[in-house]
């Protein structure tokens, strides 16, 4: 066990993935010798050679299509999209190709070996284009798995599981936590099962649900609520597609209340899907309407970022409103 940050944990996972699978190939803009703009791939080209870890030309469309081609012919493709904001040029390859390869060919071909890693999220004064959380665009696409770690420990275990999963995965990394989150991370190889939520903290009055960087926000809000005598159960979804409705429903049946927090805009965000499902599953157990604390329905702003964010204070207010309902 060593205390390392999330970038180091990701680097470690990538190194392990390349080391244990000789068919694994790692690529993207600036990921070669330089080690990526966030340095997640530092030292890997030196270790595994230029054929297995390299810079691509600057084209996300090309990167995604290339990944599909590699994986369709038996390789393990690990592609970095430099910022999640720049995944959109690749959306046709991902949504129409990656996601449907297996289905459309009757499983004659599949691209289960593809993993796209990409830094997402705000709180870094990046304005729109360095702050978006585009996960919901991909959760609507059947055939993709969507995974979001909240700390260094998860980043390593979930990334290894994603790379080795026999389905294409989009792995969103909370860049706000890249250096800020330091955790005990086992040195050896380990995986965290995809599709399973984690109950981070047990409580009895309300269930708070988030993923990635927002888990820390709901934990802070829960601490504030504790001082007012409200006991919060905290769940980290970890995988958004497929998401673990069973764990969430069990919790809500116990607490009677649910609050979902995400950074992406409210309308069409993944919280809407969760709320609708839990309302179906737990209608008779609910003591207040399911509450959503999310980004506003605007592009991600720069100067009003603090005001825009679904922060701990807004979450705390929403917890109180839900409990008092």
Partner 1 sequence: MSNATSQNETVHRVSFLDKDSIRIPILKILQADGTVYENAVLPVIDEALAHRIYDTCVFTRVLDERMLGAQRQGRISFYMTCTGEEASIIGSAASLDNQDVILAQYREHAALRYRGFTTEQFMNQLFSNEKDLGKGRQMPIHYGSAELHYQTISSPLATQIPQATGVGYSLKMQGKRNIAICYFGEGAASEGDFHAGLNMAAVLKSPTIFFCRNNGYAISTPTSEQFVGNGIASRGPGYGMYTIRVDGNDMLAVLAATQQARAYAVENHAPVLIEAMTYRLGAHSSSDDPSGYRSKDEEAKWQQHDPVKRFKLWMINKGWLTEKQDAELFEKYRSEVLAEVKIAEKLPMSHIDTLIEDVYDTPTPRLQQQLDTLKKHLKKYPKSYPKSEGRV
| Residues that bind partner 1 in the complex, under the rule CB under 8 A | 29-30, 32-35, 37, 54-55, 57-62, 85-86, 88-89, 125-130, 266-267, 296-299, 301-304, 306-308, 313-314, 317
Residues 206 and 256: their CA atoms lie apart, in Å, by 6
Q: Rounded to an integer, what is the distance from CA 87 to the centroid of its chain?
A: 14
Cβ proximity to partner 1: between 287 and 307 the closer is 307
Instruction: Tell me how far apart the alpha carbons of residues 160 and 191 are, in angstroms, rounded to a whole number.
Output: 6
> Pick the catalytic residue: 97, 130, 219, 263?
130
- Considering the complex, state which of residue 99 and residue 318 has its C-beta at the smaller distance from partner 1: 318
Annotated catalytic residue 130: yes
Q: What is the chain's Cα-based Rg?
A: 19
The residues that touch ligand TPP, with contacts defined as CB under 6 A, are 29, 58, 60, 82, 86, 89
Judge residue 108's burial from the number of C-beta atoms within 10 Å of its C-beta, 0-12 exposed, 13-18 middle, 19 or more buried: exposed
Between residues 85 and 135, which has the closer beta carbon with respect to partner 1?
Answer: 85
Identity of the residue, 33 or 254, whose beta carbon is nearer to partner 1 in the bound complex? 33
State in angstroms the smallest separation of the CB of 55 from ligand TPP: 10
187 contact partners, CB below 8 Å, separation of at least 6 = 1, 2, 12
* Distance (Å, whole) CA 135 – CA 155: 17
Contact 114, 68 (CB under 8 A): yes
State the binding partner of 55 from ligand TPP, partner 1, none, CB within 5 to 8 A by kind. partner 1
For residue 126, the partner it binds in partner 1, ligand TPP, none, with Cβ less than 5 to 8 A by kind, is partner 1
Q: Which partner from the list partner 1, ligand TPP, none does 187 bind, CB cut-off 5 to 8 Å by kind?
A: none
CB 95, min distance to ligand TPP, A: 17
Omega within 30 of 0 (cis) for the link into 242:
yes
Which sequence positions are flagged as catalytic?
60, 130
């Amino acid at each position: 066990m060593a205390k390392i940050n999330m970038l180091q944990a990701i680097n470690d996972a990538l190194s392990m993935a390349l080391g244990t699978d000789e068919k694994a190939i790692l690529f993207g803009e600036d990921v070669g010798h330089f080690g990526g703009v966030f340095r997640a791939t530092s030292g890997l080209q030196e270790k595994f050679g230029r054929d297995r870890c390299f810079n691509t030309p600057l084209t996300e469309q090309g990167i995604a299509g290339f990944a599909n081609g590699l994986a369709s012919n038996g390789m393990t493709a690990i592609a970095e999209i430099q910022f999640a904001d720049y995944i959109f040029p690749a959306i046709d390859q991902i949504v129409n190709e990656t996601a449907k390869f297996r289905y459309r060919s009757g499983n004659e071909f599949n691209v289960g070996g593809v993993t796209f890693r990409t830094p997402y999220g705000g709180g870094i004064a990046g304005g729109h284009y360095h702050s978006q959380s585009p996960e919901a665009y991909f959760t609507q696409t059947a055939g993709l798995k969507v995974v979001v770690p909240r700390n260094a420990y998860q980043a390593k275990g979930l990334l290894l599981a994603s790379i080795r999963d026999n389905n294409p995965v989009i792995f969103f990394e909370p860049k706000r936590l890249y250096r800020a989150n330091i955790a005990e991370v086992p040195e050896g190889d380990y995986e965290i099962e995809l599709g399973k939520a984690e109950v981070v903290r047990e409580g009895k009055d309300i269930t708070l649900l988030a993923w990635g960087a927002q888990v820390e926000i709901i934990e802070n809000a829960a601490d504030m609520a504790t001082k007012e005598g409200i006991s919060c159960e905290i769940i980290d979804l970890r995988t958004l597609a497929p998401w673990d409705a069973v764990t969430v429903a069990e919790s809500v049946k116990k607490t009677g209340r649910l609050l979902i927090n995400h950074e992406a805009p409210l309308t069409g965000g993944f919280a809407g899907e969760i709320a609708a499902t839990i309302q179906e599953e737990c209608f008779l157990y609910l003591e207040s309407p399911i509450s959503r604390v999310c980004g506003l329905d605007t592009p991600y702003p720069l100067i009003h970022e603090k005001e825009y964010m679904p922060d701990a204070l807004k979450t705390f207010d929403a917890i109180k409103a839900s409990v008092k309902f």
